[in-house]
Structure 1
Amino acid sequence: MTSLNNLINERSFRRLALLTVIAVYLLILVGGIVRSTGSGMGCPDWPKCFGQWVPPTNVNELPVNYQEIYSHRGYANTEFNVVKTWTEYLNRLLGALIGVFIFLTFIASTVAYWRKDRAIVGYSFLAFILVGFQGWLGAKVVSSVLATWLITLHMLLAIVIVGVLMYVMARSRAALLVNEQTNVSKTGQRWLLISSILLLTQILLGTQVREVVDEVADQFGAQQRFRWIDELGIRFYIHRSFSLVVLATQLLWIWPLVKSQSPANTVRQLALSMVALIGVEIATGIVMAYWAIPAWAQPVHLTLAVVALGIQFLVILFVKKETLLINTARSEVRYEQV
C-alpha cells in the first residue's frame, strides 16, 4: 500500500481527473459525429455489432439475409455501410475506455484522499456509477432504434458526468488557489449564475433543434441538405437569436473580471477561454445556418457549448473556493481524529 501511495499522490490524481474530463469531452464530440453522420444504427445490436465482437469490414462477412434478421432495427431497406458501422463501434470502444478512466480516477481518489477528503472519493464513485448507467442507456438508445428523446437524455447525462468530475477536480485543486485572490462583486456573481442557467437553457434548446434536424434529414435526405434550414421552424430561430442573449449575459460578468484581475489569475484565464469558445460556437452556428448544416459543424457546435458550460461551472466553484476549502479542512480534521 505504501508503494501505491508513493505512486498515486494528489498531483497525479489531479492530472488523471483532468485527463478523464478531456476524454469525456472527446466522447461527446465523437457521439455528435455519430449522430451527424447518421451512424447511430451502424451496429444494430449491443454490446456486439452484427452479433460479432469485431465488426465486419465487408458485407460478405454477414449472413445473406442480414437485412431480414435486423429488420426490426431498421435494416429492412438499409444496406450495410462499413464506415457507419465502424464509426459507431469506435464510439462504443471510446465509451468503454472512458469507463476505465473513471474507474481509475475512483481508485486513485481512495489512495490520495481517503483520509483527507472522502467527499472527493464519494463523488468519484458517483461518476463511476453514472458512467455505468450511461452505458446501459446507450444500449437502450440502440434497442429503441435511436429514439430522439433517449439520445437527448444520453447527452444530458454526459453533461452531468462532466459536472461531477469538474467538482472533483475543483475540490482537489482548491488548496492550490488559497493565495490567489479573485474579487467578483455580488452583482458579478449573480450574472455569473444567471448566464450559466441561460447557457444550459441554450444547450437544451439546441437539443430540441437537433431532434428536428434529424426528422428533416430523414424526410429530405442528404442530397437535399440545402433545404434543411428552411424546414426547421420557429425553434431554430429562437435558438439562433438566444445565442446573442447568452453572449451578452456572459460579458456582463466577464468584462469587469478581466479588467480587475491580473493576467495570471486562474479565473480570469478561464473566463477569457469561455468568451473564445462561445465566439467560435456562434461562428459554427452561422456556418450551419448559411452553409446547409455541414456534418462536421454539428458535433463541433455541441461540444464547444458543453465545454463552455463545464468551464463556467469550474469558474463558479473557484469563485466560491472558500467554501471548498472549508469543507476540505473540516473533512481533514474529522478523519485525523478517527
Structure 2
Amino acid sequence: MLFRKLGILTIITIYLLVLAGGIVRSTGSGMGCPDWPKCFGMLVPPTDVSQLPPNYQEIYAEKLHGEVEFNATKTWIEYANRLVGAFTGLVVFATFIASIYYYFKKDRVIVYLSFLGVILIGANGALGKYVVDSFLKPGVVTLHMLLAVLVVFVLLYSIARAWSEVIKVEKIENKSTLNRLLILTLVVSTSQVLLGTQVREAIDKVIANPLFGYDRNTWIEQMGLPFMIHRSYSLLILALHVYLIVHLKKNINAEGLIYKFMLTLLVIVVIEVLSGIIMAYFGVPAYIQPIHLTLAILSLGIQFIIYLLTNSERVFKARTELSIVKN
C-alpha cells in the first residue's frame, strides 16, 4: 500500500533531517545563512564572497552579532539542511494526502495523526527560523529538539497503525511490568536527549570564549555540570536497556519482531555510548556529534515502536475496525 511505503520514507527523511541538523550544529554552520527562508537574500546561496554586495557585512552585522565573515562551506551546509527540511515537509504532506485516500473511512485516527505531523513539521520549521533569528538562543534549540522528537512519535504511531494490518500480534507475559519498564526507559532516554542539547548549548558558550573556543581538547573540562550529568545518565540508560532485554527474553518469543527490535536497540545504545566516550576523550570530533545525536533519536523511535508492539491489541485498533468492516 502506498501509505505504508510513504510512511517508511517519511521516517527515513525525518532522521536524515536530524542528521543534517546535527552536522549544522557540529560544524558551527547554524548562522551560515543569516536570513530565512532565503540565504543572503538569494534563493540559491553564493559560493564566493564576490557574489555578495560590497556592504554585506553592514547589512547582516546585527543578525550575525558581528560574525560577518562569509564562509561558503558553512553557508552551503546550512542551505543543504534547509533543502532536506523542505523535502521532509513535502514527504510528510504527501503521507497525509495518502492517509485521506486510504484511511478516511477505515481509521480516521491515522488521518488525524498524519495531519498533526504536518502541523508539527511546519511548527518546527517556524521554530527553526526563530532559532536563526535569535542567534541560536539557549532554550530555543532544546525546544526545537523536543518538537522533533514529538514529530517522530506522532508519525511513528500513525504509520504503525497502518502496518498493524499486516503485523502479527505477539503473546507477551508480565505485560504490566514490561510496560512500566518501557515507559521508564522512554522517559529517561528522552531526558538524556534534552540533556544532550544542554551540553551542546554549553559547548556554544565555550566556543564563544576566545580563550578556549578554538581548542576542542579544552571543551569538555569547560562544560562543567551539564556534561557530568549527561555522562552519568548514559550509564543508567545502558543498564536500563540491558535489564529490558533480559526481561523481554523471559517473556516474549525470541524469534518475534519485538525481540529483534530490542536487539537492534541494544546495539544502537552501545554504539551511542561509545560515540559519547569518543567525544569525551578525543576533543569532541565534529564528525561524531551528528552521529551521536541521530543514534539518540533513532533509539527513542525504536523504544516507542517496541511499546506500540507490546500493546498492539490496545493501541492498534485499525485491525479490529477493518475486520468489522470486512465481516
TM-score by length of 1: 0.91
Are residues 56 and 190 of structure 1, via their aligned partners in 2, closer, same or farther at CA, if it must alter by over 3 Å? same
Query: What is the CA distance between 1:169 and its match in structure 2?
Result: 1.3
Are residues 90 and 204 of structure 1, via their aligned partners in 2, closer, same or farther at CA, if it must alter by over 3 Å? same
Query: What is the CA distance between 1:264 and its match in structure 2?
Result: 3.3
Selected match of 2:273 from 282, 285, 289: 282
Q: Aligned equivalents of 1:71 and 1:296: distance in 2?
A: 29
Partner of 1:95: 85
Q: Deviations over 1:4-49 (max 9, x none)?
A: xxxxxxx321111011011101101110110110101100101110
Find out whether 1:247 has 2:238 as its counterpart. yes
Q: Which runs of 5+ in 1 are unaligned?
A: 1-10
Q: Which moved more, 1:323-332 or 1:16-25?
A: 323-332
Pairing 1:143-158 to 2, within 5 Å after superposition = 143-158=133-148
Find out whether 1:30 has 2:20 as its counterpart. yes
Are residues 24 and 221 of structure 1, via their aligned partners in 2, closer, same or farther at CA, if it must alter by over 3 Å? farther
Q: Aligned equivalents of 2:169 and 2:258: distance in 1?
A: 13
Q: Aligned equivalents of 1:13 and 1:180: distance in 2?
A: 24
Query: What is the CA distance between 1:328 and its match in structure 2?
Result: 5.0
Q: Which moved more, 1:262-271 or 1:114-123?
A: 262-271
Find out whether 1:306 has 2:297 as its counterpart. yes
Selected match of 1:192 from 165, 182, 191: 182
Q: After TM superposition, what 4+ stretches of structure 1 lie above 6 angstroms from structure 2?
A: none
Selected match of 1:164 from 151, 154, 169: 154
Q: Deviations over 1:225-269 (max 9, x none)?
A: 111111010221111011111111222221132355444311111
TM-score by length of 2: 0.94
Identity of aligned residues (%): 46
Q: Aligned equivalents of 1:268 and 1:111: distance in 2?
A: 33
Are residues 27 and 325 of structure 1, via their aligned partners in 2, closer, same or farther at CA, if it must alter by over 3 Å? closer
Amino acid at match of 1:254: I
Are residues 33 and 221 of structure 1, via their aligned partners in 2, closer, same or farther at CA, if it must alter by over 3 Å? farther
Amino acid at match of 2:285: P
Find out whether 1:121 has 2:121 as its counterpart. no
Q: Which has the higher helix share?
A: 1
Q: Which runs of 5+ in 2 are unaligned?
A: none
Query: What is the CA distance between 1:110 and its match in structure 2?
Result: 0.8
Amino acid at match of 1:243: S
Pairing 1:131-280 to 2, within 5 Å after superposition = 131-219=121-209, 220=211, 223-280=214-271
Q: Aligned equivalents of 1:44 and 1:187: distance in 2?
A: 50
Q: Deviations over 1:54-92 (max 9, x none)?
A: 100110000111001101112634310000000001100
Task: State whether residues 141 and 151 of structure 1, in contact with CA within 8 Å, keep that contact through their aligned partners in structure 2.
Answer: yes
- How many residue pairs are counted as aligned between the two chains? 326
Are residues 216 and 178 of structure 1, via their aligned partners in 2, closer, same or farther at CA, if it must alter by over 3 Å? same
Are residues 266 and 336 of structure 1, via their aligned partners in 2, closer, same or farther at CA, if it must alter by over 3 Å? closer
